Structure 1
Amino acid sequence: MSGEGSDIAGLRVLVVGASSGIGHAVAVRAAERGAKVAVAARRMDLLTELAEQIGGSAFELDVEDPGAIGRVVAEAAQTLGGFDAVVFTSTVAPMAHIEDTDVATWIHAFNVNTLGANGVLRAVRPHLSDTGVVLIASSHDVGRPRAGVAAYNASKAALNEILHSWRSEHPDLAILRVGIGPTEDTEILRGADRELLALLFKSWTKHGQLPAQMSALNDVANTLVSLVGTAYLNPSVVPEVVQLAPRIRRG
């Protein structure tokens, strides 16, 4: 889709967690549809390459560092002249049976998935335009935890509650929580122990927790970008909670 006539043409968009996976794809699709895009993440080599590809700006950001969040968001806002949309996709999914999950694992998951998202929301709020939109990526599986991802699911459940509080205290903000189901070509399992993964896949299959097909990465990214555009262009309506699940095609 070209930028001309697009629902997000000219919008100033910050994508946090854009070095790979869904965040990377969202940045590419948003730029293709005419948005002015800034990207932030830890891996600057990947981020710089992405920024060059889309004609955007790259900012190094570790969302586990609260001080860095404020500083980087301010720099990105100055570069773009403010934000019309912010998309948060930074996620870690530590793989371990719950009895083997140590305190460091829980802290890491909550720092990135929960407190990182909350910190970004706090930082971007003063820089949002009047009809600005914040989209936070969550998990389709909250409330239906699979074996081996306790810290991930708990942190996403806590994130959901935090976003309820934001909506309660700041009903003027357009905050979209999108629960994303299994998606191809992401790095969510990066670094996981292969033997453990094999055991977990058996468990997930046994309990019907693995879909026959996953959602295509570009389809998910385009859907997120479209949600941003819809919310921005219809400022009296907030699609507060959206769930994305794989569509299982016949044959």
Structure 2
Amino acid sequence: MSGQHADADGLRLLVVGASSGIGHAVAVAAGARGAKVAVAARRIDLLTKLADDIGGSAFELDVEDTGAIKRVLDAAADTLGGLDAVVFTSTVVPFAHIEDTDVATWVHAFSVNTLGANNVLRAALPHLSENGVVLVASSNDVGRPRAGVAAYDASKAALDEILRSWRSEHPELSIIRVGMGPTKDTEILRGADRDLLAQLFESWTEHGQLPAQMSALRDVANTLVSLITATHANPTVVPEVVQLAPRIKKLVD
């Protein structure tokens, strides 16, 4: 490999939430660009295939299990010989009107999206190299919530505040918060009620919250890897908050 395609050469990277969607795509992109990659998520069958495809290592992990997080982070760091970068993309998006969102749903969303990210960062801390980078996937909807995803939006808003606290107490860390925009080919709608989704799509369209086009998954993944490699290579600068949004191209007749 040469040029930009080898810019992650030797980078020791752990992707948490890599069984599908953005996490999976980041692992593939990083591996193609020369990184040594470990992947973690609940669906170990999908992870094992991914690890085989990219020459990486797979670890089964439920980020709601705090004890398992430390064990997996320790094992991944041992396998890779340390961590130069950690990417957290594990996310749950419960679709429900706010009055129908029960306590268990709120707790689950915060346990994965908020506390899961925080606990992965805690467990990664002793293993990060001097110029180590942590990239956490958030949402570009924070502060402008759309109907039907209150638990998701609130959990990501809380995550933003937690990351601010990390930066305040650990200014030496490179922590990148990325607000993810609408992206094709993810599993965000997996298991959702189709009748409810039809109602929500109507609401999002009415309020101008559906883009004409979505970002390509591969482009999003390569952008995230580029953020990591640039930050790792330039340790006096941190792109603390990055927002990704679809680039809407005009259709040619």
The alignment status of 1:187 with 2:168, answered yes or no, reads no
Cα pair distance change 1:197/1:4, threshold 3 Å: closer
| Aligned-residue CA RMSD (Å) | 1.1
Cα distance in 2 for residues equivalent to 1:111 and 1:216: 28
Partner in structure 2 of residue 196 of structure 1: 196
Cα distance in 2 for residues equivalent to 1:185 and 1:2: 29
CA shift digits 1:84-139 (9 cap, x unpaired): 00000000000000000000000000000000000000000100000000000000
Instruction: Write the letter of the residue equivalent to 1:60.
Output: E
Cα distance in 2 for residues equivalent to 1:5 and 1:249: 26
Cα distance in 1 for residues equivalent to 2:91 and 2:195: 22
- TM-score, normalised via structure 1 length: 0.98
The alignment status of 1:169 with 2:169, answered yes or no, reads yes
Cα distance in 1 for residues equivalent to 2:25 and 2:2: 16
Cα distance in 1 for residues equivalent to 2:159 and 2:45: 29
Alignment of 1:198-217 (within 5 A): 198-217=198-217
Cα pair distance change 1:13/1:4, threshold 3 Å: same
Partner in structure 2 of residue 108 of structure 1: 108
The size of the alignment, in residue pairs, is 251
Cα pair distance change 1:195/1:2, threshold 3 Å: farther
Partner in structure 1 of residue 59 of structure 2: 59
Partner in structure 1 of residue 32 of structure 2: 32
Instruction: Write the letter of the residue equivalent to 1:239.
Output: P
Cα pair distance change 1:189/1:2, threshold 3 Å: farther
Equivalent residues of 2:179, 2:244 under 8 A apart: yes
Alignment of 1:116-135 (within 5 A): 116-135=116-135
Cα distance in 2 for residues equivalent to 1:150 and 1:2: 45
Shift of the alpha carbon at 1:7? 2.0
Cα distance in 2 for residues equivalent to 1:94 and 1:132: 32
Equivalent residues of 1:2, 1:32 under 8 A apart: no
Instruction: Write the letter of the residue equivalent to 2:166.
Output: W
* Moved >6 Å (runs of 4+): none
Cα distance in 1 for residues equivalent to 2:132 and 2:97: 40
Partner in structure 1 of residue 243 of structure 2: 243
Equivalent residues of 2:5, 2:32 under 8 A apart: no
Cα pair distance change 1:110/1:84, threshold 3 Å: same
Shift of the alpha carbon at 1:238? 0.3
How much identity, in percent, do the aligned residues show?
Answer: 78
Instruction: Write the letter of the residue equivalent to 2:122.
Output: R
Shift of the alpha carbon at 1:187? 0.5
Partner in structure 1 of residue 148 of structure 2: 148
Structure 2 runs not aligned, ≥5 long: none
Partner in structure 1 of residue 233 of structure 2: 233
Partner in structure 1 of residue 12 of structure 2: 12
Cα distance in 2 for residues equivalent to 1:89 and 1:211: 22
CA shift digits 1:9-66 (9 cap, x unpaired): 1000000000000000000000000000000000001000000000000000000000
Partner in structure 1 of residue 91 of structure 2: 91
Cα distance in 1 for residues equivalent to 2:208 and 2:4: 43
Cα distance in 2 for residues equivalent to 1:180 and 1:250: 22
CA shift digits 1:172-211 (9 cap, x unpaired): 0000000000000000111100000000000000000000
Cα distance in 1 for residues equivalent to 2:6 and 2:33: 6
CA shift digits 1:129-186 (9 cap, x unpaired): 0000000000010001000000000000000000000000000000000000000000
Cα distance in 2 for residues equivalent to 1:249 and 1:5: 26
